[in-house]
Amino acid sequence: MVVEEGLEYGPAKRRAVKQMDLPSRSELPGNDEIEDAVREYIALFCAETQSAELAALRELALTWMERMAPFRPYLGGAVWHGTATRLSDIYIQLFCDDPKSAEIALIDHQVDYEPRTVTGFTGGSVEALSLSSYCKALHETVGVHLMIYDHDDLRGALKHDAKGRKPRGDLADVQKLLMTPAQPGPTGTPL
């Protein structure tokens, strides 16, 4: 579901519980285990196409990060970690002094978006501005989600994860990833 439908881990876990008719409180694999399985799946079934798709998504993410540069953008999710395919959405976290400033910038540039409330990386609710953006390299529209955080949230956002990786990357980090296509993930481990 993650690779073939572009689902994020949380929704994929919830759907799996439903499809397998398990109790809602069933113990499920952790995100690290799911990520390892996704990497294996991609290596087996998507090895010929995934790296080009990932590069296209990273290029589109970089475009949006440059547009939203005043709001301290950081790329997260599958596009950052190197497990994205053409069906994956782009998740960019913005760390704003004023939470409405990013929304005002989209309005000023006449960008159509849909505001939502989602669960953020700290477990609390955050506002997300979701939009569609055409990706020339993939010849299709991609979902881009701008997650709005307070500037102070940036302090805790850069702690390394359980695998010692940066959980998100800024403009310079994404530019580095695009310069080294043989290394799709921030871990430096090719798929």
Specify if 10 maps to a domain: yes
- Look up residue 97 and give its two tokens: 């002094």
Instruction: Note down the domain range covering 34.
Output: 2-45
CA geometry: angle at 179 spanning 142 and 39, to 5°?
Answer: 60
Q: Using one digit for the tens of pLDDT, what is the confidence trace for 14-51?
A: 888 888 998 888 888 888 899 999 999 999 999 899 99
Confidence class for position 186, pLDDT limits 50, 70, 90:
low
Residues 100-150 have pLDDT tens digits of 999 999 999 999 999 999 988 878 899 999 999 999 999 999 999 999 999
Residue 190, domain member (yes or no):
no
> Both 37 and 55 in a single domain?
no
Number of domains the chain is built from: 2
Global pTM reads 0.88
Structure tokens at 154: 């940036």
Same domain? 87 vs 170: yes
> Which strands sit side by side in the sheet containing 140-150, from one edge to the other?
73-76, 90-96, 140-150, 125-135, 114-119
| Token pair in block for residue 155 | 């302090």
Residues 37 and 63 in one domain: no
**Single-letter residue type at 8:** E
